[in-house]
Amino acid sequence: MEYTIQKMAALAGITTRTLRYYESFGLIKTERRTSGYRIYGQTEVDRLQLILFFRELGMSLETIRGTLASDYFDRSRILREHLALLHSRKEQLDKLIINVEKTIDEQEGRITMTDSEKFEGLSQKMIDENEKKYGKETRIRYGEEAVDRANQKLKKMTNEDHRRLEALCLELNETIKAAFETGDPASLPAQQACELHKKWLMNYWDTYSKESHMALAQSYADDARFTAYYDKIAPGCAVFLRDAIRIYTAGTQTEDAK
């Protein structure tokens, strides 16, 4: 089948303006014209389907363009990964629906929920959000198995575990701020912040590696998303923490978690 731009947009459920924008952005292109009108064929239909799949998963247009242009692009693999993500999202939504239904029943006096039941599905939501933001990079950097183990560890967290982790995050950020004010990444407060950062990491990691710790710290300075998070504590904090962790890992003698 072949389609004009109006019919292609209607088929996909988008506007012709959006389709033209995708073309101007380099996501999709057709050289064929009939009486001056763009003509889209099966190749463009399949490509637009993938673009809309990616958009549904929250990918930026820049990321989509890079993915489609990659030498390692494999349509079948991409579709399988997309299907797995959709199944994961469906499972999480099902758990949240059950959670909300139970909460309503408890509010109306029909049942009593345990503390752990009240948080069912919420850990998965956190995992999905992390995957959406950082999944591609972390899986490349640490490997599929390591990320999957970390996600399983997060799933098993209890209500008390979440409370402890929140308290630890607060203590970590306060310590980083105090350390930053010294201006010295080798200072005792800075190295205490690194120890707390390691303790925080071990809520997700199975084993500790100073190389992995340093690689993560480097990403805080290199990745604008991480930099923005830590620079909310104080401008320049991301680079300061990286420098402090470089000193900390240089003096770490053991590969085991404390």
Domain 5-69 identical in fold to domain 159-250: no
Q: Which two tokens stand for residue 147?
A: 């990320």
Q: Are 201 and 184 a contacting pair, CB within 8 Å?
A: no
How far apart, in whole angstroms, are the C-alpha atoms of residue 2 and residue 57?
A: 27
pTM as predicted: 0.48
Structural domain 5-69, CATH architecture: Orthogonal Bundle (1.10)
Question: pLDDT-based confidence at 107, cuts 50/70/90?
Answer: confident
**Helices in 183-236 by DSSP H: which ranges?**
188-201, 210-222, 224-231
Q: Could you tell me the pLDDT band of residue 28, with boundaries at 50, 70 and 90?
A: very high
Mean pLDDT of the region 203-215: 87
Domain covering 159-250 assigned CATH 1.10.490.50 in the classification: yes
Rg, the chain, Cα only: 24
Strand 33-34 relative to strand 37-38, pairing: antiparallel
**For the chain, which residues make up each domain, given as ranges?**
5-69, 75-155, 159-250
